[in-house]
Structure 1
Amino acid sequence: MRKLIRGLLDFQLNARSSYREKFALLAQEQKPDCLFIACADSRVVPNLLVSMDPGDLFVVRNVGNMVAPSDSKGQSTGDQSEAAALEFSLRSLPVEDIVVCGHSNCGAMKAVLAGGVGPENPNLKSWLEHGKAALQRMDANPTLGEGRSDYDRLSQNNVLLQLEHISTYPLVKERLDAGTLRLHGWWFDIATAQVHAWRPLLGRFIPMDELVGEALLRELGTDTHAPGALANGNGAQRMSVVARAQ
Protein backbone atom coordinates (compact mmCIF):
# COMPACT_ATOMS: atom_id res chain seq x y z
CA MET A 1 0.00 0.00 0.00
CA ARG A 2 2.91 2.35 0.63
CA LYS A 3 4.05 1.88 -2.97
CA LEU A 4 0.52 2.54 -4.16
CA ILE A 5 0.24 5.81 -2.23
CA ARG A 6 3.68 6.99 -3.33
CA GLY A 7 2.74 6.23 -6.92
CA LEU A 8 -0.50 8.14 -6.60
CA LEU A 9 1.33 11.14 -5.18
CA ASP A 10 3.88 10.98 -7.99
CA PHE A 11 1.07 11.06 -10.55
CA GLN A 12 -0.74 13.91 -8.82
CA LEU A 13 2.37 16.02 -8.35
CA ASN A 14 4.39 15.23 -11.47
CA ALA A 15 2.48 13.45 -14.24
CA ARG A 16 -1.04 14.82 -13.90
CA SER A 17 -0.31 18.09 -15.69
CA SER A 18 0.75 16.30 -18.88
CA TYR A 19 -2.50 14.26 -18.86
CA ARG A 20 -4.82 17.09 -17.91
CA GLU A 21 -5.91 17.93 -21.46
CA LYS A 22 -6.38 14.25 -22.31
CA PHE A 23 -8.63 13.63 -19.31
CA ALA A 24 -10.56 16.82 -19.95
CA LEU A 25 -11.58 15.38 -23.31
CA LEU A 26 -12.25 11.94 -21.85
CA ALA A 27 -14.54 13.49 -19.25
CA GLN A 28 -16.96 14.25 -22.12
CA GLU A 29 -16.98 10.76 -23.68
CA GLN A 30 -14.98 7.62 -24.34
CA LYS A 31 -14.44 6.05 -27.75
CA PRO A 32 -12.48 2.81 -27.31
CA ASP A 33 -12.66 0.53 -30.36
CA CYS A 34 -11.46 -2.61 -28.57
CA LEU A 35 -12.81 -4.69 -25.70
CA PHE A 36 -9.79 -6.29 -24.02
CA ILE A 37 -10.46 -9.27 -21.75
CA ALA A 38 -7.48 -10.18 -19.58
CA CYS A 39 -6.60 -12.02 -16.41
CA ALA A 40 -6.58 -10.17 -13.10
CA ASP A 41 -2.99 -11.35 -12.58
CA SER A 42 -0.86 -8.43 -11.40
CA ARG A 43 1.84 -9.23 -13.96
CA VAL A 44 -0.50 -8.61 -16.90
CA VAL A 45 -1.01 -4.89 -17.60
CA PRO A 46 -3.08 -4.41 -20.80
CA ASN A 47 -2.36 -0.74 -21.47
CA LEU A 48 1.37 -1.31 -20.92
CA LEU A 49 1.49 -4.30 -23.28
CA VAL A 50 -0.11 -2.39 -26.14
CA SER A 51 1.23 1.11 -25.37
CA MET A 52 -2.28 2.57 -25.14
CA ASP A 53 -3.41 5.79 -23.50
CA PRO A 54 -6.38 6.21 -21.15
CA GLY A 55 -9.59 5.93 -23.15
CA ASP A 56 -8.18 3.59 -25.80
CA LEU A 57 -9.26 0.24 -24.32
CA PHE A 58 -12.44 -1.00 -22.67
CA VAL A 59 -10.99 -3.55 -20.26
CA VAL A 60 -12.49 -6.52 -18.41
CA ARG A 61 -10.21 -8.39 -16.00
CA ASN A 62 -11.01 -11.45 -13.96
CA VAL A 63 -9.44 -14.65 -12.70
CA GLY A 64 -8.40 -16.67 -15.75
CA ASN A 65 -9.61 -14.18 -18.42
CA MET A 66 -12.90 -16.06 -18.76
CA VAL A 67 -16.40 -15.31 -20.04
CA ALA A 68 -19.29 -17.57 -19.12
CA PRO A 69 -21.20 -18.69 -22.23
CA SER A 70 -24.71 -17.56 -23.07
CA ASP A 71 -27.80 -19.70 -22.71
CA SER A 72 -30.46 -19.96 -25.43
CA LYS A 73 -32.05 -16.70 -24.28
CA GLY A 74 -28.85 -14.66 -24.41
CA GLN A 75 -28.35 -14.69 -20.64
CA SER A 76 -25.00 -15.43 -19.08
CA THR A 77 -24.73 -18.90 -17.54
CA GLY A 78 -22.39 -17.49 -14.91
CA ASP A 79 -21.48 -14.10 -13.49
CA GLN A 80 -23.25 -11.31 -15.40
CA SER A 81 -20.39 -8.82 -15.23
CA GLU A 82 -18.61 -10.03 -18.37
CA ALA A 83 -21.87 -10.35 -20.31
CA ALA A 84 -22.81 -6.81 -19.25
CA ALA A 85 -19.45 -5.57 -20.56
CA LEU A 86 -20.11 -7.29 -23.89
CA GLU A 87 -23.52 -5.66 -24.22
CA PHE A 88 -22.36 -2.20 -23.15
CA SER A 89 -19.25 -2.16 -25.32
CA LEU A 90 -21.00 -3.46 -28.44
CA ARG A 91 -24.13 -1.32 -28.13
CA SER A 92 -22.83 1.90 -26.57
CA LEU A 93 -19.20 2.12 -27.69
CA PRO A 94 -17.53 1.98 -31.13
CA VAL A 95 -16.00 -1.42 -30.39
CA GLU A 96 -15.06 -3.40 -33.49
CA ASP A 97 -12.60 -5.87 -31.97
CA ILE A 98 -12.56 -8.14 -28.92
CA VAL A 99 -9.28 -9.52 -27.60
CA VAL A 100 -9.02 -12.36 -25.10
CA CYS A 101 -5.52 -12.37 -23.64
CA GLY A 102 -4.26 -15.29 -21.56
CA HIS A 103 -0.81 -15.62 -20.08
CA SER A 104 1.89 -17.98 -18.89
CA ASN A 105 2.14 -19.35 -15.36
CA CYS A 106 -1.55 -18.63 -14.74
CA GLY A 107 -2.74 -19.59 -11.27
CA ALA A 108 -6.29 -20.16 -12.49
CA MET A 109 -5.09 -22.66 -15.09
CA LYS A 110 -2.95 -24.41 -12.50
CA ALA A 111 -6.04 -24.76 -10.31
CA VAL A 112 -8.14 -26.15 -13.19
CA LEU A 113 -5.37 -28.59 -14.04
CA ALA A 114 -5.25 -29.70 -10.40
CA GLY A 115 -8.97 -30.44 -10.38
CA GLY A 116 -10.23 -27.18 -8.91
CA VAL A 117 -10.08 -25.67 -5.43
CA GLY A 118 -11.52 -26.70 -2.09
CA PRO A 119 -14.92 -25.85 -0.57
CA GLU A 120 -13.32 -23.04 1.46
CA ASN A 121 -13.29 -21.04 -1.81
CA PRO A 122 -16.86 -21.59 -3.09
CA ASN A 123 -16.95 -18.61 -5.46
CA LEU A 124 -13.59 -19.40 -7.04
CA LYS A 125 -14.57 -23.05 -7.31
CA SER A 126 -17.70 -22.12 -9.24
CA TRP A 127 -15.90 -19.60 -11.45
CA LEU A 128 -13.19 -22.06 -12.52
CA GLU A 129 -15.89 -24.28 -14.01
CA HIS A 130 -15.88 -21.93 -17.02
CA GLY A 131 -12.35 -23.05 -17.86
CA LYS A 132 -12.68 -26.79 -17.36
CA ALA A 133 -13.67 -27.53 -20.95
CA ALA A 134 -10.20 -26.34 -21.94
CA LEU A 135 -8.90 -29.61 -20.49
CA GLN A 136 -10.79 -31.54 -23.18
CA ARG A 137 -9.53 -29.12 -25.82
CA MET A 138 -5.96 -29.71 -24.67
CA ASP A 139 -6.35 -33.48 -24.84
CA ALA A 140 -7.85 -33.24 -28.32
CA ASN A 141 -5.17 -30.85 -29.59
CA PRO A 142 -1.81 -31.99 -28.16
CA THR A 143 0.25 -29.92 -30.58
CA LEU A 144 -1.03 -26.54 -29.36
CA GLY A 145 1.63 -25.10 -27.08
CA GLU A 146 3.81 -28.14 -27.66
CA GLY A 147 6.98 -28.00 -25.56
CA ARG A 148 5.45 -25.78 -22.91
CA SER A 149 4.22 -26.78 -19.45
CA ASP A 150 0.79 -28.37 -19.16
CA TYR A 151 -0.63 -25.28 -17.46
CA ASP A 152 0.68 -23.01 -20.22
CA ARG A 153 -0.77 -25.33 -22.86
CA LEU A 154 -4.05 -25.24 -20.96
CA SER A 155 -3.88 -21.45 -20.82
CA GLN A 156 -3.62 -21.23 -24.60
CA ASN A 157 -6.51 -23.64 -25.06
CA ASN A 158 -8.48 -21.60 -22.54
CA VAL A 159 -8.10 -18.47 -24.70
CA LEU A 160 -9.70 -20.32 -27.61
CA LEU A 161 -12.43 -21.69 -25.34
CA GLN A 162 -13.35 -18.20 -24.16
CA LEU A 163 -13.56 -16.98 -27.76
CA GLU A 164 -16.09 -19.74 -28.33
CA HIS A 165 -17.99 -18.71 -25.20
CA ILE A 166 -18.11 -15.09 -26.39
CA SER A 167 -19.44 -16.16 -29.79
CA THR A 168 -22.48 -17.80 -28.14
CA TYR A 169 -24.02 -14.40 -27.33
CA PRO A 170 -26.69 -13.35 -29.86
CA LEU A 171 -25.35 -9.81 -30.13
CA VAL A 172 -21.85 -11.09 -30.85
CA LYS A 173 -23.20 -13.54 -33.44
CA GLU A 174 -25.10 -10.73 -35.16
CA ARG A 175 -22.02 -8.52 -35.34
CA LEU A 176 -19.81 -11.37 -36.57
CA ASP A 177 -22.29 -12.33 -39.27
CA ALA A 178 -22.55 -8.68 -40.34
CA GLY A 179 -18.76 -8.42 -40.55
CA THR A 180 -18.64 -5.54 -38.05
CA LEU A 181 -16.78 -7.40 -35.30
CA ARG A 182 -13.58 -9.44 -35.03
CA LEU A 183 -12.39 -11.78 -32.29
CA HIS A 184 -8.71 -12.16 -31.43
CA GLY A 185 -6.81 -14.57 -29.21
CA TRP A 186 -3.57 -13.38 -27.61
CA TRP A 187 -1.25 -15.03 -25.12
CA PHE A 188 1.39 -13.24 -23.03
CA ASP A 189 4.60 -15.03 -22.05
CA ILE A 190 5.57 -13.27 -18.83
CA ALA A 191 9.18 -14.48 -18.70
CA THR A 192 10.02 -13.00 -22.10
CA ALA A 193 7.45 -10.15 -22.06
CA GLN A 194 6.36 -11.45 -25.47
CA VAL A 195 2.78 -11.38 -26.74
CA HIS A 196 1.76 -14.24 -29.03
CA ALA A 197 -1.15 -13.98 -31.46
CA TRP A 198 -3.44 -16.88 -32.40
CA ARG A 199 -3.14 -17.57 -36.11
CA PRO A 200 -6.00 -19.85 -37.22
CA LEU A 201 -4.41 -20.92 -40.50
CA LEU A 202 -1.30 -22.06 -38.66
CA GLY A 203 -3.24 -23.52 -35.75
CA ARG A 204 -0.99 -22.01 -33.11
CA PHE A 205 0.02 -18.87 -31.24
CA ILE A 206 3.05 -17.17 -32.74
CA PRO A 207 5.17 -14.26 -31.40
CA MET A 208 3.84 -10.84 -32.28
CA ASP A 209 6.87 -9.53 -34.16
CA GLU A 210 6.92 -6.89 -36.87
CA LEU A 211 5.97 -9.30 -39.66
CA VAL A 212 3.04 -10.73 -37.72
CA GLY A 213 1.93 -7.24 -36.76
CA GLU A 214 2.00 -6.12 -40.39
CA ALA A 215 -0.04 -9.18 -41.40
CA LEU A 216 -2.64 -8.41 -38.73
CA LEU A 217 -2.84 -4.79 -39.86
CA ARG A 218 -3.41 -5.92 -43.46
CA GLU A 219 -6.27 -8.12 -42.26
CA LEU A 220 -7.85 -5.12 -40.54
CA GLY A 221 -7.79 -3.10 -43.76
CA THR A 222 -6.57 0.41 -44.38
CA ASP A 223 -9.21 2.18 -42.31
CA THR A 224 -11.50 0.06 -40.16
CA HIS A 225 -13.33 3.17 -38.94
CA ALA A 226 -14.58 4.06 -42.42
CA PRO A 227 -18.32 3.40 -42.86
CA GLY A 228 -18.84 -0.23 -43.83
CA ALA A 229 -15.13 -1.01 -43.76
CA LEU A 230 -15.53 -4.20 -41.75
CA ALA A 231 -18.66 -5.19 -43.61
CA ASN A 232 -16.72 -5.11 -46.88
CA GLY A 233 -14.90 -8.23 -45.72
CA ASN A 234 -16.27 -11.74 -45.69
CA GLY A 235 -18.40 -12.19 -42.57
CA ALA A 236 -17.49 -15.87 -42.41
CA GLN A 237 -13.81 -14.94 -42.47
CA ARG A 238 -14.34 -12.68 -39.45
CA MET A 239 -15.50 -15.74 -37.53
CA SER A 240 -12.58 -17.91 -38.65
CA VAL A 241 -10.70 -17.30 -35.42
CA VAL A 242 -13.48 -19.16 -33.60
CA ALA A 243 -14.41 -21.72 -36.23
CA ARG A 244 -10.85 -22.88 -36.73
CA ALA A 245 -10.26 -23.01 -33.00
CA GLN A 246 -12.71 -25.86 -32.53
Structure 2
Amino acid sequence: MKALIEGILKFQTEAFPQRTDLFKHLSTTQQPGTLFITCSDSRVIPEMLTQQEPGELFVIRNAGNIVPSYGPEPGGVSATVEYAVAVLGVTDIVICGHSDCGAMTAISQCKCLDHLPAVASWLRHADSAKVINQGRTHLSPAHKLSSMVRENVAAQLTNLLTHPSVRLARQQGQLNLHGWVYDIESGAVEALDGRTNQFVSLSEHPQTCAYGSNPETVAA
Protein backbone atom coordinates (compact mmCIF):
# COMPACT_ATOMS: atom_id res chain seq x y z
CA MET A 1 0.00 0.00 0.00
CA LYS A 2 2.86 2.38 0.62
CA ALA A 3 3.69 2.43 -3.09
CA LEU A 4 0.06 3.11 -3.99
CA ILE A 5 -0.26 5.98 -1.54
CA GLU A 6 3.00 7.48 -2.76
CA GLY A 7 1.64 7.17 -6.27
CA ILE A 8 -1.53 9.05 -5.32
CA LEU A 9 0.53 11.85 -3.80
CA LYS A 10 2.71 12.03 -6.90
CA PHE A 11 -0.39 12.12 -9.09
CA GLN A 12 -1.83 14.99 -7.06
CA THR A 13 1.35 17.06 -7.06
CA GLU A 14 2.74 16.30 -10.53
CA ALA A 15 0.34 14.65 -12.99
CA PHE A 16 -2.92 16.32 -12.01
CA PRO A 17 -1.66 19.93 -12.24
CA GLN A 18 -0.53 19.27 -15.81
CA ARG A 19 -4.07 18.27 -16.81
CA THR A 20 -6.18 20.62 -14.71
CA ASP A 21 -8.31 21.76 -17.64
CA LEU A 22 -8.87 18.20 -18.81
CA PHE A 23 -10.04 17.00 -15.41
CA LYS A 24 -12.25 20.07 -14.99
CA HIS A 25 -13.95 19.16 -18.26
CA LEU A 26 -14.23 15.49 -17.28
CA SER A 27 -15.74 16.35 -13.91
CA THR A 28 -19.18 16.69 -15.53
CA THR A 29 -19.03 14.63 -18.72
CA GLN A 30 -17.39 11.77 -20.55
CA GLN A 31 -17.37 10.98 -24.27
CA PRO A 32 -15.18 7.90 -24.80
CA GLY A 33 -15.00 6.75 -28.38
CA THR A 34 -14.03 3.15 -27.66
CA LEU A 35 -15.09 0.37 -25.32
CA PHE A 36 -11.93 -1.61 -24.54
CA ILE A 37 -12.46 -5.12 -23.16
CA THR A 38 -9.36 -6.84 -21.88
CA CYS A 39 -7.95 -9.14 -19.22
CA SER A 40 -7.49 -8.22 -15.56
CA ASP A 41 -3.82 -9.23 -15.88
CA SER A 42 -1.65 -6.62 -14.17
CA ARG A 43 0.71 -6.49 -17.14
CA VAL A 44 -1.95 -5.23 -19.54
CA ILE A 45 -2.62 -1.49 -19.18
CA PRO A 46 -5.16 -0.33 -21.81
CA GLU A 47 -4.39 3.40 -21.53
CA MET A 48 -0.65 2.79 -21.75
CA LEU A 49 -0.97 0.37 -24.63
CA THR A 50 -3.17 2.72 -26.65
CA GLN A 51 -1.64 5.96 -25.35
CA GLN A 52 -5.02 7.44 -24.49
CA GLU A 53 -5.84 10.21 -22.05
CA PRO A 54 -8.44 9.97 -19.26
CA GLY A 55 -11.95 10.02 -20.71
CA GLU A 56 -11.01 8.43 -24.03
CA LEU A 57 -11.51 4.74 -23.17
CA PHE A 58 -14.41 2.99 -21.47
CA VAL A 59 -12.87 -0.17 -20.04
CA ILE A 60 -14.03 -3.64 -19.01
CA ARG A 61 -11.47 -5.93 -17.39
CA ASN A 62 -11.99 -9.50 -16.27
CA ALA A 63 -10.24 -12.88 -16.26
CA GLY A 64 -9.74 -13.90 -19.89
CA ASN A 65 -11.29 -10.78 -21.52
CA ILE A 66 -14.61 -12.59 -21.67
CA VAL A 67 -18.00 -11.33 -22.84
CA PRO A 68 -20.81 -13.73 -21.93
CA SER A 69 -23.53 -14.15 -24.54
CA TYR A 70 -26.61 -12.05 -23.87
CA GLY A 71 -29.11 -13.92 -21.70
CA PRO A 72 -32.19 -13.58 -19.50
CA GLU A 73 -30.07 -12.55 -16.50
CA PRO A 74 -27.45 -10.10 -17.84
CA GLY A 75 -24.47 -9.54 -15.60
CA GLY A 76 -22.04 -6.71 -15.12
CA VAL A 77 -20.28 -7.17 -18.45
CA SER A 78 -23.57 -7.10 -20.36
CA ALA A 79 -24.71 -4.00 -18.48
CA THR A 80 -21.45 -2.20 -19.20
CA VAL A 81 -21.56 -3.10 -22.89
CA GLU A 82 -25.14 -1.86 -23.11
CA TYR A 83 -24.32 1.42 -21.35
CA ALA A 84 -21.24 2.04 -23.49
CA VAL A 85 -23.11 1.46 -26.74
CA ALA A 86 -26.63 2.73 -26.03
CA VAL A 87 -25.82 5.67 -23.73
CA LEU A 88 -22.24 6.75 -24.38
CA GLY A 89 -22.44 5.97 -28.09
CA VAL A 90 -19.00 4.41 -28.53
CA THR A 91 -18.17 3.83 -32.18
CA ASP A 92 -15.69 1.00 -31.65
CA ILE A 93 -15.34 -2.01 -29.36
CA VAL A 94 -11.99 -3.77 -28.93
CA ILE A 95 -11.61 -7.19 -27.35
CA CYS A 96 -7.92 -7.55 -26.49
CA GLY A 97 -6.31 -10.82 -25.45
CA HIS A 98 -2.65 -11.11 -24.53
CA SER A 99 0.34 -13.44 -24.39
CA ASP A 100 0.96 -15.64 -21.34
CA CYS A 101 -2.67 -15.33 -20.24
CA GLY A 102 -3.29 -17.33 -17.08
CA ALA A 103 -6.93 -17.98 -17.89
CA MET A 104 -6.15 -19.26 -21.37
CA THR A 105 -3.24 -21.31 -20.02
CA ALA A 106 -5.60 -23.10 -17.65
CA ILE A 107 -7.91 -23.92 -20.55
CA SER A 108 -5.25 -24.97 -23.04
CA GLN A 109 -3.54 -27.22 -20.49
CA CYS A 110 -6.85 -28.60 -19.19
CA LYS A 111 -5.87 -27.73 -15.64
CA CYS A 112 -8.15 -28.90 -12.85
CA LEU A 113 -9.98 -25.91 -11.40
CA ASP A 114 -12.04 -27.72 -8.78
CA HIS A 115 -10.42 -25.55 -6.12
CA LEU A 116 -11.47 -22.42 -8.04
CA PRO A 117 -15.16 -23.03 -8.77
CA ALA A 118 -15.94 -19.40 -9.59
CA VAL A 119 -13.05 -19.25 -12.07
CA ALA A 120 -14.08 -22.57 -13.63
CA SER A 121 -17.66 -21.36 -14.08
CA TRP A 122 -16.52 -18.06 -15.61
CA LEU A 123 -14.17 -19.72 -18.09
CA ARG A 124 -17.01 -21.83 -19.49
CA HIS A 125 -17.85 -18.76 -21.55
CA ALA A 126 -14.74 -19.69 -23.55
CA ASP A 127 -15.88 -23.29 -24.19
CA SER A 128 -16.46 -22.79 -27.91
CA ALA A 129 -12.89 -21.56 -28.35
CA LYS A 130 -11.63 -24.48 -26.24
CA VAL A 131 -13.39 -27.06 -28.41
CA ILE A 132 -11.97 -25.58 -31.62
CA ASN A 133 -8.46 -25.28 -30.21
CA GLN A 134 -8.46 -28.82 -28.78
CA GLY A 135 -9.46 -30.17 -32.18
CA ARG A 136 -6.35 -28.79 -33.85
CA THR A 137 -2.78 -30.07 -33.95
CA HIS A 138 -0.23 -27.82 -32.25
CA LEU A 139 3.54 -27.82 -32.56
CA SER A 140 4.12 -27.21 -28.85
CA PRO A 141 2.33 -26.19 -25.63
CA ALA A 142 3.38 -22.59 -26.31
CA HIS A 143 1.84 -22.73 -29.78
CA LYS A 144 -1.33 -24.25 -28.33
CA LEU A 145 -1.61 -21.41 -25.83
CA SER A 146 -1.02 -18.78 -28.49
CA SER A 147 -3.74 -20.34 -30.61
CA MET A 148 -6.11 -20.50 -27.62
CA VAL A 149 -5.64 -16.79 -26.92
CA ARG A 150 -6.63 -15.98 -30.50
CA GLU A 151 -9.54 -18.40 -30.63
CA ASN A 152 -10.87 -16.88 -27.44
CA VAL A 153 -10.78 -13.36 -28.85
CA ALA A 154 -12.74 -14.58 -31.88
CA ALA A 155 -15.23 -16.43 -29.65
CA GLN A 156 -15.84 -13.41 -27.43
CA LEU A 157 -16.50 -11.25 -30.49
CA THR A 158 -19.15 -13.78 -31.50
CA ASN A 159 -20.65 -13.58 -28.02
CA LEU A 160 -20.63 -9.79 -28.25
CA LEU A 161 -22.77 -9.95 -31.39
CA THR A 162 -25.60 -11.52 -29.37
CA HIS A 163 -26.08 -8.30 -27.39
CA PRO A 164 -29.08 -6.31 -28.65
CA SER A 165 -27.40 -2.93 -28.26
CA VAL A 166 -24.45 -4.11 -30.34
CA ARG A 167 -26.63 -5.60 -33.08
CA LEU A 168 -28.74 -2.46 -33.28
CA ALA A 169 -25.74 -0.12 -33.45
CA ARG A 170 -24.19 -2.21 -36.21
CA GLN A 171 -27.45 -2.28 -38.15
CA GLN A 172 -27.47 1.50 -37.94
CA GLY A 173 -23.89 1.65 -39.24
CA GLN A 174 -22.57 3.12 -36.00
CA LEU A 175 -20.30 0.46 -34.51
CA ASN A 176 -17.15 -1.45 -35.49
CA LEU A 177 -15.77 -4.46 -33.60
CA HIS A 178 -12.09 -5.30 -33.30
CA GLY A 179 -10.18 -8.32 -31.99
CA TRP A 180 -6.60 -7.75 -30.83
CA VAL A 181 -3.85 -9.81 -29.26
CA TYR A 182 -1.09 -8.00 -27.38
CA ASP A 183 2.35 -9.56 -26.97
CA ILE A 184 3.76 -8.45 -23.62
CA GLU A 185 7.43 -9.08 -24.43
CA SER A 186 7.61 -7.31 -27.79
CA GLY A 187 4.77 -4.79 -27.52
CA ALA A 188 3.39 -6.05 -30.85
CA VAL A 189 -0.35 -6.15 -31.45
CA GLU A 190 -2.12 -8.42 -33.91
CA ALA A 191 -5.66 -7.77 -35.15
CA LEU A 192 -8.31 -10.13 -36.47
CA ASP A 193 -9.02 -9.51 -40.14
CA GLY A 194 -12.69 -10.26 -40.72
CA ARG A 195 -12.13 -10.90 -44.41
CA THR A 196 -9.63 -13.72 -43.91
CA ASN A 197 -10.30 -14.75 -40.29
CA GLN A 198 -6.56 -14.42 -39.69
CA PHE A 199 -4.62 -12.29 -37.22
CA VAL A 200 -2.30 -9.78 -38.87
CA SER A 201 0.13 -7.15 -37.63
CA LEU A 202 -1.82 -4.05 -36.63
CA SER A 203 1.17 -1.81 -37.34
CA GLU A 204 1.32 -3.13 -40.91
CA HIS A 205 -2.45 -3.21 -41.38
CA PRO A 206 -3.87 -0.36 -39.26
CA GLN A 207 -7.30 -0.46 -40.95
CA THR A 208 -7.92 -4.08 -39.95
CA CYS A 209 -11.39 -4.72 -38.54
CA ALA A 210 -13.12 -7.91 -37.41
CA TYR A 211 -16.74 -6.77 -37.84
CA GLY A 212 -17.42 -3.51 -39.61
CA SER A 213 -20.39 -1.26 -38.97
CA ASN A 214 -22.06 -2.82 -41.99
CA PRO A 215 -23.78 -5.97 -40.62
CA GLU A 216 -22.69 -7.87 -43.72
CA THR A 217 -19.02 -7.26 -42.86
CA VAL A 218 -18.25 -10.19 -40.59
CA ALA A 219 -15.39 -12.55 -39.96
CA ALA A 220 -15.48 -15.59 -42.21
Three-state SS of the structure 2 residue aligned to 1:212 is: coil
Report the alpha carbon displacement of residue 140 of structure 1 after superposing the two structures with TM. Answer: 5.5
CA distance in 2, matches of 1:25, 1:169: 31
Counterpart of 2:49 in structure 1 is: 49
**Matched residues, number:** 219
Counterpart of 2:32 in structure 1 is: 32
TM-score of the two chains, using structure 1 as the length reference: 0.81
Quick one: structure 1 residues 169 and 36, their matched pair in 2 at CA, closer, same or farther if it must change by over 3 Å?
A: same
Contact 2:193 2:208 in 1 (8 A): no
Counterpart of 2:186 in structure 1 is: 192
Give 2:94's aligned amino acid. Answer: V
Structure 2 gaps of 5+ residues are none
Counterpart of 1:149 in structure 2 is: 143
Counterpart of 1:224 in structure 2 is: none
Q: Please tell me whether residue 111 in structure 1 is matched to residue 114 in structure 2.
A: no
Give 1:46's aligned amino acid. Answer: P
Report the alpha carbon displacement of residue 133 of structure 1 after superposing the two structures with TM. Answer: 1.7
Counterpart of 2:130 in structure 1 is: 135
Three-state SS of the structure 2 residue aligned to 1:152 is: helix
CA distance in 1, matches of 2:140, 2:215: 31
Quick one: structure 1 residues 212 and 177, their matched pair in 2 at CA, closer, same or farther if it must change by over 3 Å?
A: same
Q: Tell me whether 107-116 or 31-40 shows the greater mean CA deviation.
A: 107-116
Q: Please tell me whether residue 175 in structure 1 is matched to residue 193 in structure 2.
A: no
Of 125, 144, 152 in structure 2, the residue corresponding to residue 158 of structure 1 is 152
CA distance in 2, matches of 1:206, 1:141: 20
Structure 1 gaps of 5+ residues are 221-229
1:89-114: CA deviation from partner (whole Å, max 9, x where unpaired): 11110211111000011000011123
Contact 1:69 1:165 in 2 (8 A): yes
Q: Please tell me whether residue 21 in structure 1 is matched to residue 21 in structure 2.
A: yes
Give 1:160's aligned amino acid. Answer: A
Contact 1:117 1:124 in 2 (8 A): no
Give 2:127's aligned amino acid. Answer: K
Three-state SS of the structure 1 residue aligned to 2:205 is: helix
CA distance in 1, matches of 2:58, 2:82: 12
Report the alpha carbon displacement of residue 116 of structure 1 after superposing the two structures with TM. Answer: 4.8
1:169-227: CA deviation from partner (whole Å, max 9, x where unpaired): 12211222222111110000111111111112233211221x412x349x98xxxxxxx
Contact 1:106 1:152 in 2 (8 A): no
Q: CA RMSD in A?
A: 2.4
Report the alpha carbon displacement of residue 39 of structure 1 after superposing the two structures with TM. Answer: 0.2
Three-state SS of the structure 2 residue aligned to 1:91 is: helix
Quick one: structure 1 residues 120 and 147, their matched pair in 2 at CA, closer, same or farther if it must change by over 3 Å?
A: closer
TM-score of the two chains, using structure 2 as the length reference: 0.90
